[in-house]
Structure 1
Amino acid sequence: MINRVVLVGRLTRDVDLRYTSSGAAVGTFSMAVNRQFTNANGDREADFINCVIWRKSAENFANFTKKGSLVGVDGRLQTRNYENQQGQRVYVTEVVVDNFSLLESRTTTEQRQGDGASQNFNSNQSNGSQQSGFTSPQQTGNAPAANNTQADPFANNGQAIDISDDDLPF
């Protein structure tokens, strides 16, 4: 039997990270996944799919994503049921995530969130603090040339480039 689910979409809200009584982390979230076709009005509809992720993966996922983040998840489809306070049987179908991939940078996510978030990120970077724990090129001393004004390595100062037929691989 095969039960595999692979989804690419955007988070509809921040991950709800909680801990079980035994201390295991569990994160719940939903993803908006675009459909392949458009409706009668020409609009693309989306499916909203509930997901759950466990343990250290849940903590990492919650730390590095936020509402609107583009992510890919790989997991399995699971259906469970429980009895609510009114005595009714409730069925829940969700994706239990085994692996995930962050499909855009944190900077891109924060810029999409609006000017307030991107200004906050830029002000933190300018005074030397590291927000994400990653080192920027400016902090390592390997900064690229200002505005990428490096000379073109393939330019020949306006002169024609002489290539013989023996130099071509075909």
Structure 2
Amino acid sequence: MSSRSLNKVQLIGNLTRDPELRYTPTGAAVCTIGLATNRSWTTEAGEKKEETEFHRVVAWNKLAELCSQLLIKGRKIYVEGRLRTNQWQGQDGTQHYTTEVVIEDMIILDSKRPVGEVLPTPETVVETKKPASPAGGEEAPVVEAPVESSPAKVDEQVNPDDIPF
């Protein structure tokens, strides 16, 4: 039996809304994106069907800031990252879960630019691949939903007293 595992997600889709940029109490940037993907198939009867899935996508730190600057509703993008499920207990005692894609790389696939959008200069283009996280490091939690534990990508530790909920 192998001890290896893989948590990797690759999606191509369209943004369902403009990105939402927030900052954690420790100053880490967090950008939330809605992404729609479509699946098409033909039934045995020859009828064409289509199904749309909606994904919650989250970017952290520099990639979060780039996403908030470069992305708009309707834009087609490729994202690569990992699945993360957040769990918390509501005030009424019920358990709540949300699954999201934490992205580590993003590519804009369309060339649509709204009037007035400025192309990034070489100084603003940043490599989005993250180095491997140090053992035991943690990401700051998403501010809008309590998180029991988050896998790591940044060097700073989060103090639970800094979380506003």
TM-score between the two structures when normalised by the length of structure 1: 0.62
Higher mean C-alpha displacement, 82-91 vs 56-65: 82-91
| Preserved contact between residue 40 and residue 48 of structure 2 (Cα < 8 Å) | no
Q: 1:7-156 alignment to 2 at 5 Å?
A: 7-37=11-41, 42-107=48-113, 110=114, 121=115, 131-133=117-119
Indicate the SS of the match to 1:87.
coil
Partners of 2:23 and 2:69 in 1: CA distance = 15
Summarize the Cα distance change of 1:24–1:4 in structure 2 as closer, same or farther, 3 Å threshold. same
Cα deviation code 1:111-140 (max 9, x no counterpart): xxxxxxxxxx2xx5xxxxxx40558xxxxx
- The one-letter code matched in structure 2 to 1:70 is K
Identity %: 40
Structure 2 gaps of 5+ residues are: 122-165
* Largest Rg, 1 or 2: 1
Query: Quick one: higher RCO (CA 8 Å, sep 6+), 1 or 2?
Result: 2
Q: What displacement does 1:106 show?
A: 3.8
Q: Distance in 1 between matches of 2:119 and 2:13?
A: 25
